[in-house]
Structure 1
Amino acid sequence: MHELFDAVWTIASHDILWREVVGNGFGLGSAIGGMRRRVWAWPVGIVGNVLLFTVFLGAVFQTPQARDLYGQAGRQVFFIVVSVYGWARWSQARARGRAHGDRDAPAVVPRWAGRRGWIQLISIGVVGTVTFAYVFQALGSWGPWADAWIFTGSFLATYGMARGWIEFWLIWIAVDAVGVPLLFMAGYYPSAALYLVYGGVVIWGFAVWWRQTARTPPADGNGELPQQPLLLAE
């Protein structure tokens, strides 16, 4: 197990942890599952979060990069917490849909966050980024301000996904725009490359969810499935 945990892949004289590659692979699978509104997206994402937590505490776990990105590591913990919430929420919504005769019911009906939702997102985004930037700076994080936005934005995007808000895809785009340069500069090349792939998946997912709003009846205030069966095409 120790050898498997520390297994590396050397490319152009750079040592890359296999668990960084595998962890990001689970993350990509979770993103695709989220786009398709499948409940399994949440447990798959949790596995990736656990692996990546050990990757981004580079100095603690003695990774080849040996750099601690506290925001990147800390957000994995938040991902797990919010993913449990999203997993339960989507499971309940899917069960209600199936109870009303739709065996292929998706776990959530996409909707816009609305004015109240945007106020929540912007307020938490600004306060969270500023607060965690100072926290990460005090802890010695590498790139504290970028790390703070990645941390805060990732939390908001995951929460928005759990609520079924279409805007969560846009937040992911903003996170990727900051995360790719930071990870490349810090030497986390697999994660940076996967962020670029995520960018394409995120844009695709945004288009899929946006189109879906025109094909389904409006959801209630909690983003839950309507009480009538839906005929949805994936």
Structure 2
Amino acid sequence: MNPIITLLDAELHIAGSEILWREVIGNGFGLASAIGGMRRRVWAWPIGITGNALLFTVFVGGVFHTPQQLNMAGQAGRQLMFIAVSVYGWWSWYRHASRGAGLEHRGVDPRWATARERLVLVLAMLAGTAVFAQLFERLHSYGPWAEAWIFTGSVLATYGMARGLAEFWLMWIAVDVVGIPLLVRAGYYPSATMYLVYAGFVAWGFLVWKRSMRPSAETARPLAPVPALD
């Protein structure tokens, strides 16, 4: 039997529910990628791409005949977006790392977003959610507004990670808050569980990145000497 077909069709039965192994494995790759991202390792990107490819087949359930038989356009499109943005992130981090110690060198130097960047992120989040909700509704996607929030937040968070913005961890928390109840309602229990794990993990990752950030130029600037009194 074709091993690829075997992987696509393999199921895990828990408490009367059918769960695809590729959903479990795909989310496992996602967690490994998140760990690599926290450590700022270049290998986080190709690992994540592998998981995204598996999860894409999970969320186009009506095409690949998953137990849920649901097409979640936002979740499926999110995986394709991850792959596209991850190629950019992989290239950006590799280029940064190559100036140091190769693939095991840190792929990025974390920093805070500027006030302008934060404003752009907020506006992009609101506008993207409104636009994609209309698109997903026309595609008859399950939970179009929630999916639009998750999709837009995922785009911005992945881009923020590639750029080294520490706020990308906080964007993931905003995604998880909406994603967990949506996936539970749709019956994608491994993904919902992984979202819950991510929620705690990203809080940890945020603290790790925050501690690793260098002082800003303003705070690092030495104090001016106090003039001597005559």
Shorter-chain TM-score above 0.5: yes
Aligned-partner Cα distance in 1 for 2:51–2:104: 26
Give the distance between the partners of 1:115 and 1:11, measured in 2 at CA.
Answer: 48
- The Cα offsets for residues 122-151 of structure 1, whole Å up to 9 and x where unpaired, read as 121111100000100010001000000100
> Is the Cα contact below 8 Å between 2:41 and 2:105 reproduced in 1?
no
- Residue 15 of structure 1: which of 18, 22, 40 is its match? 18
The equivalences for 1:20-39 within 5 A come to 20-39=23-42
Displacement of 1:98 after TM fit? 3.7
Task: Tell me the distance in 2 between the aligned counterparts of 1:40 and 1:217.
Answer: 27
C-alpha displacement of 1:105: 3.7
Q: Distance in 2 between matches of 1:35 and 1:183?
A: 25
- What code does the residue aligned with 1:28 have? L
Question: Does the 8 Å CA contact 2:26/2:51 hold for their aligned counterparts?
Answer: yes
Please say if residues 29 and 50 of structure 2, whose CA atoms lie closer than 8 Å, have aligned partners that are also in contact: yes
Aligned residues: 214
Segments of 5+ residues of structure 1 without an aligned counterpart are 220-234
Unaligned stretches of 5+ in structure 2? 218-230
**1:4 positional shift:** 2.3
Name the CA shift for 1:104/1:79 in 2 (closer, same or farther; >3 Å).
closer
* SS of the residue 2:61 aligns to: coil
Task: Tell me how large the CA RMSD over aligned residues is.
Answer: 1.5
Deviations 1:48-76 (A, max 9, x none): 00000000011111100011110000010
**Structure-2 residue corresponding to 1:58:** 61
- CA deviation map 1:40-99 (0-9, x unaligned): 000000000000000001111110001111000001011001000000000011112349
The structure having more radius of gyration, on CA atoms, is 2
Check if 1:168 corresponds to 2:171.
Answer: no
In the TM superposition, what whole-angstrom CA distance separates every residue of 1:172-197 from its partner, at most 9, and x where no partner exists? 00000000000000000000001111
What pairs up with 1:186-197 in 2 under 5 angstroms?
186-197=186-197
Q: Which residue number corresponds to residue 154 of structure 1?
A: 154
SS of match in other structure, 1:60: helix
Q: Which moved more, 1:112-121 or 1:125-134?
A: 112-121
Give the deviation of 1:104 after TM superposition.
6.0
State the TM-score, normalized to the length of structure 1: 0.88
Tell me if structure 1 keeps the 8 A contact 2:42–2:104. Answer: no
Determine the C-alpha separation between the residues in 1 that align with 2:41 and 2:6: 34
Which residue identity does 2:26 align to in structure 1?
A: G
Letter in 1 for 2:180: V
Cα drift, residue 217 of structure 1: 5.7
Does residue 207 (structure 1) correspond to residue 207 (structure 2)? The answer is yes
- Aligned 8 A contact 2:26 2:54 in 1: yes
Instruction: Give secondary structure in 2 for the equivalent of 1:150.
Output: helix
Cα distance in 2 for partners of 1:142, 1:91 equals: 37
Residue in 2 that maps onto 1:42:
45
Report the counterpart of residue 223 of structure 1 in structure 2: none
Give the TM-score normalised by structure 2: 0.90
Query: What's the CA shift for 1:114?
Result: 1.0
**Letter aligned with residue 188 of structure 2:** Y
Q: What is the deviation of 1:218? A: 5.1
The match for 1:81 among 79, 84, 100 is 84
